[in-house]
Amino acid sequence: MSEPLDNAGIVDLLGVLAYGELSAFDRLAEDSRTAPTLQGRAALAIMAAAEIGHYRMLDQHLAGMGVDVFEAMAPFIAPIDAWHASTAPKSWLESLVKAYIGDGLATDFYREIAGWLDAPTQRLVLEVLADTGHSAFAEREVQAACEADRTARDRLTLWGRRLLGEAITQAQYVLADHDELVDLVMSSGEGLTQMTEFFDRLQQTHSSRMHELGLA
Amino acid sequence: MSEPLDNAGIVDLLGVLAYGELSAFDRLAEDSRTAPTLQGRAALAIMAAAEIGHYRMLDQHLAGMGVDVFEAMAPFIAPIDAWHASTAPKSWLESLVKAYIGDGLATDFYREIAGWLDAPTQRLVLEVLADTGHSAFAEREVQAACEADRTARDRLTLWGRRLLGEAITQAQYVLADHDELVDLVMSSGEGLTQMTEFFDRLQQTHSSRMHELGLA
């Protein structure tokens, strides 16, 4: 694999992550407005602000590579917006589950890719990973709601599955359109097997997070 | 002045600042959604996230005093929401002017009060002040728009004046309702003269900021 190709893959990867963070900010901020309590509003605002912390690290790293973050993000606006449009929460509890599951998926994703990257990019990703632990409020609230109401629990379980399903759908569109990203994954290990295992692991950690929320 | 009274003043002060930050986050995040460019959206998102950084410092400091941030904020929700309702931007440029002027007023305010406070609270306020410089984008964009369009400039000048006027109105309601805050200001210097000078200085720095934006 040639050096420029690897670099294009890294730029795409950082671009998709950067727009992921910016749009997560946007959704969390909007959802925070529907909070039934000031505590809930503050909790989602804090999660939203953390996304911007990550966004700024990605921006800085791209700038160091001589790449404009807005150019890097451009190809990924449509699929990420599509994911958010297909998973617009219809209640406060759906917002909390989405915040928690979305945060978790992002964490898994950052952890997975850390191993594929050159040392400076890897450091960046590990820094982003270190800044977590903002979702305890969501966990507590969803657990309490599920214990109190079996129907709510069943609905939120379906909702949690849909969040993952739509994420995988959009991830596959992204990969189909971006050969450099596929090359990056392939170059890092055993190719397709690696990719399949990657999605398998995402599903496993998703399930354990669903359990943490009290969802089946 | 008795010790508990001073403390009540400090709690009120930190409470009004904390809700100011939380509501600024909310407004900036909402306004970021109306940005005509991704650059503008990111710029306002970064300003919004910075507010949450300040909010968290205030929350931590209150917790250290044994005070719940939500209780401390409660009395100030209505006047601050009223300020935002009376100054809802009707265009992207109004959003930028509000972001810039609001940020500047908050900075002036933090700088003014730093001198009145006990050492640990003063350190907190100075830390908040050190985290500035996120509004360069707003400055550039408003300047460019004003140079290009005289009518836009005139309208934004009126808008900037209204932002200050409404802020002073709400500040006076807050003071009228909160004797502890008045006591805090009075105990720190020459009483009413100090208060008058405070509002005078706010008006002066507001004018110089209007100039920086290219507004008359």
Residue-level pLDDT at A85? 94
**Which residues in chain B have their CB less than 8 angstroms from residue A59's CB?**
42
Average pLDDT over residues A122-144: 86
Highest mean pLDDT among A101-110, A185-194, B111-120, B159-168: B159-168
Average pLDDT over residues A67-83: 95
Distance from CA of B191 to the nearest CA of A (A): 35
Residue-level pLDDT at B127? 83
Return the residue in B46, B84, B137 with the most chain A beta carbons within 10 A, the one to mutate for interface testing: B46
- When the pLDDT of each residue in chain A is averaged and rounded to a whole number, the result is 89
Task: For residue B44, give every residue at least 6 positions away whose Cβ sits within 8 Å of its Cβ, in sequence order, or none.
Answer: B28, B29, B31, B32, B35, B95, B96, B99
ipTM: 0.89
Highest mean pLDDT among A49-63, A187-201, B184-198: A49-63
Residue in A30, A53, A59 closest to B49 by CB: A53
Residue-level pLDDT at A5? 44
Residue B62's alpha-carbon distances to A27, A189, B55, B124, B171, in angstroms, are 29, 50, 11, 11, 22
Phi first, then psi, for residue B133 (nearest 5°) are: 85, 20
pLDDT tens, position by position, B24-64: 999 999 999 999 999 999 999 999 999 999 999 999 999 99
Predicted structure pTM score: 0.91
Q: Which residue of A has its CA nearest to B22?
A: A42
Q: Do B45 and A25 touch (CB under 8 A)?
A: yes
**Which residues in chain A have their CB less than 8 angstroms from residue B55's CB?**
42, 45-46
pLDDT tens, position by position, B110-158: 888 787 788 888 888 888 887 777 888 999 999 999 999 999 999 999 9
Highest mean pLDDT among A184-193, B100-109, B127-136, B146-155: B146-155
Q: Do A45 and B26 touch (CB under 8 A)?
A: yes
Q: Do B52 and A49 touch (CB under 8 A)?
A: yes
In 10 A of CB B150, how many CB atoms? 9
Return the residue in A38, A59, A73, A131 with the most chain B beta carbons within 10 A, the one to mutate for interface testing: A38
pLDDT band at B190 (very low <50, low <70, confident <90, very high): low
Residue A1 has pLDDT above 60, yes or no: no
Residue-level pLDDT at A188? 66
Residue B5 has pLDDT above 50, yes or no: no
Q: Which residue of B has its CA nearest to A74?
A: B38
Q: Do A49 and B46 touch (CB under 8 A)?
A: no
pLDDT tens, position by position, B205-214: 999 999 999 9
**Which residues in chain B have their CB less than 8 angstroms from residue A134's CB?**
none
- A5-9, A92-96, B9-13, B143-147 — which is least confidently predicted? A5-9
Average pLDDT over residues A119-126: 86
Q: Which long-range contacts (CB under 8 A, 24 or more apart) does B145-150 make?
A: B145/B93, B146/B213, B146/B214, B146/B215, B147/B214
d(CA A200, CA B201): 62
**Which residues in chain A have their CB less than 8 angstroms from residue B32's CB?**
26, 29
Phi first, then psi, for residue A17 (nearest 5°) are: -65, -45
Report which DSSP code applies to A146.
H
Task: Using the structure block, give the residue that is written with the tokens 């040392």.
Answer: A119
Residue in A38, A46, A70 closest to B73 by CB: A38
Residue B4 has pLDDT above 60, yes or no: no
Average pLDDT over residues B189-199: 75
Residue B212 tokens, joined: 């920086």
Highest mean pLDDT among A30-34, A124-128, B194-198: A30-34
pLDDT band at B7 (very low <50, low <70, confident <90, very high): confident
Task: For residue B152, give every residue at least 6 positions away whose Cβ sits within 8 Å of its Cβ, in sequence order, or none.
Answer: B93, B145, B146
Residue-level pLDDT at A191? 67
**Which residues in chain B have their CB less than 8 angstroms from residue A57's CB?**
none
Closest CA to B96 of B9, B27, B196: B27
- Residues of B near A (CB-CB distance < 8 A)? 22, 25-26, 29-30, 32-33, 38-39, 41-42, 45-46, 48-49, 51-53, 55-56, 59, 69-70, 73-74, 77
A:B CB pairs within 8 Å: 78
**Which residues in chain B have their CB less than 8 angstroms from residue A42's CB?**
22, 55, 59, 69-70
Residue in B32, B41, B49 closest to A49 by CB: B49
d(CA A184, CA A173): 16
**Which residues in chain B have their CB less than 8 angstroms from residue A52's CB?**
45-46, 48-49
pLDDT band at B3 (very low <50, low <70, confident <90, very high): very low
Residue B215 has pLDDT above 60, yes or no: yes
Q: Do B48 and A53 touch (CB under 8 A)?
A: no
Residue A194 has pLDDT above 50, yes or no: yes
Question: What share of chain A in percent tops pLDDT 70?
Answer: 95
- A35-39, A91-95, A174-178 — which is least confidently predicted? A174-178
Helix axis angle for B92-114 and B38-64, nearest 10°, is 30
Residue-level pLDDT at B164? 92
